[in-house]
Amino acid sequence: MTVPVSPESATTFDALGLAPLILDAIAAAGYSEPTPIQREAIPLVLRGRDVIGLAQTGTGKTAAFTLPLLHRLLDGPRRTRALVLTPTRELCTQVEESVRKYRSTTTLEVASVYGGVAYEPQERALREGVDIVVATPGRLLDHLEKGTAQLELLELLVLDEADRMLDMGFAPQINRVVAQIPAYRQTLLFSATMPPEVEALARKYLRNPVVVQVGRRSQAASTVTHAVYPVPQSRKTALLVDLLQHEDAQGSVLVFCRTKHRADRIAESLADAGIAAEALHGDRTQSAREKALEQFKSGAVRILVATDIAQRGLDISGITHVINYDVPQQAEDYVHRIGRTGRAEATGDAYTFMAPDEIATVRLIERVIAQEIPRVSRPGFDFGTG
């Protein structure tokens, strides 16, 4: 069953059935009205339904599950009653931050559990008792094995960024986690896309779910202006420097490339050209990654060069440009990458560098997003095709 987004559905948070305490937190967050996915999903979650929420990146899916989840936990004993599974450490801390923001008016406690950092602080938080655990699957399994996390009394399970979790090969871990959760529970699944693997996951873990889908499945964020720069592979770094040094790309710029090695090299080349940049990828230590992200978020560093780990879900407000130094291999990933910019109605530009061997991939992306991306020829860089 699919619920179309109808114009007559509630347009204010007040009308959704959330408790006054939660409404206070929403007001404090400065949200004046629910986003379409929130409008549709929140009443269903409050009614106890299993929900599949599909909406493009940046449409407010986190609050769509967190707000009704908090409402449902408002009364009751302190024990782990809700679990949110997320694919990456970065997303895990980001969802935790959102939960903290929305729980600010309540006494509900939240802890995040992810790899690459010490166990003890997480164990301490879990021992002290938390209502909501936000976790990546691998580290959570460690805690379950040690007995420091317990899910026997869990009431609510959220699979966030489900497509990404499956992309990252987490299906077996998710399986092992869910095996420890009571079958009698409410399960929510949120995803930007619904490939067959996600459908299979939903069939396995959700009971009679309602599908809430906002917008077309593969729609690119509509406030983003796209452009493709034809450029030979060997001239990409020069083009990047040129764009960053000129008016075309002022502001905060997120650069995506294919490999960790390339990310480091690009960041170094930018530094050589006098442009401060940080690299974000899986080979850097957790603290180096956090520091890079912090510096980028605070504006201390204007350019972040990232591999796929930063691709989905990261909410860094104020990104003005996303530059695909390499064309994403999967057309769907293009949608996710440019979802970093143009979030919550801001505008942004998405530039894609296209070498001759990437022309076919760009054409495929254009088919998926059902939109032609204008070619922009930069004098001295174009290879004359595309």
Per CB under 5 A, residues contacting Mg ion are 61, 313
**CB 5, min distance to Mg ion, A:** 18
Element (H, E) at 20: helix 20-29
41 φ/ψ angles, rounded to the nearest 5 degrees? -80, -40
Considering only 22, 39, 44, 58, the residue that binds ligand ADP (CB under 6 A) is 58
When asked if residue 103 is in the footprint of ligand ADP (CB under 6 A), the reply is no
Residues 6 or more apart from 15 whose CB is under 8 A from it? none
CA-CA distance, 41 to 264, in Å (whole number)? 41
Q: Which residue, 94 or 186, is less far from Mg ion as judged by CB? A: 94
Element (H, E) at 225: strand 224-230
Q: According to CB under 6 A, which residues from 322 to 361 bind ligand ADP?
A: 343-344
Here the contacts of 166-169 (C-beta below 8 Å, separation 24 or greater) are 166/195, 166/197, 166/198, 166/201, 167/87, 168/87, 168/88
Question: By three-state DSSP, how is residue 26 classified?
Answer: helix
Q: Which residue from 138, 141, 160 is spatially nearest to 91, judged by alpha carbons? A: 160
When asked if residue 27 is in the footprint of ligand ADP (CB under 6 A), the reply is no
Binding partner of 348, given ligand ADP, Mg ion, none, CB within 5-8 angstroms per partner class: none
Considering only 18, 25, 35, 306, the residue that binds ligand ADP (CB under 6 A) is 35
When asked if residue 57 is in the footprint of ligand ADP (CB under 6 A), the reply is yes
When asked if residue 86 is in the footprint of ligand ADP (CB under 6 A), the reply is no
Crossing angle of helices 331-338/359-368, nearest 10°?
70
When asked if residue 36 is in the footprint of ligand ADP (CB under 6 A), the reply is no
**CB 236, min distance to Mg ion, A:** 30
* Rounded (5°) CA angle 11-17-19: 120
**CB 43, min distance to ligand ADP, A:** 15
When asked if residue 60 is in the footprint of ligand ADP (CB under 6 A), the reply is yes
Contact 278, 268 (CB under 8 A): no
Considering only 63, 113, 149, 194, the residue that binds ligand ADP (CB under 6 A) is 63
Considering only 49, 61, 139, 340, the residue that binds ligand ADP (CB under 6 A) is 61
The residue range among 108-116, 225-233, 311-319, 366-374 that interacts with ligand ADP, by the rule CB under 6 A, is 311-319
When asked if residue 53 is in the footprint of ligand ADP (CB under 6 A), the reply is no
Q: Which residue, 61 or 226, is less far from Mg ion as judged by CB? A: 61
Cβ-based neighbour number of residue 347 at 10 Å: 12
**CB 332, min distance to Mg ion, A:** 15
Q: Which residue, 3 or 273, is less far from ligand ADP as judged by CB? A: 3
When asked if residue 313 is in the footprint of ligand ADP (CB under 6 A), the reply is yes
Q: Is the dihedral angle over the CA atoms 124, 129, 134, 135 positive or is it negative?
A: positive
Q: Is 256 exposed, middle or buried (0-12, 13-18, 19+ CB in 10 A)?
A: buried
Give me the residues that bind ligand ADP (CB under 6 A), please.
31, 34-35, 38, 55, 57-63, 313, 315, 317, 343-344
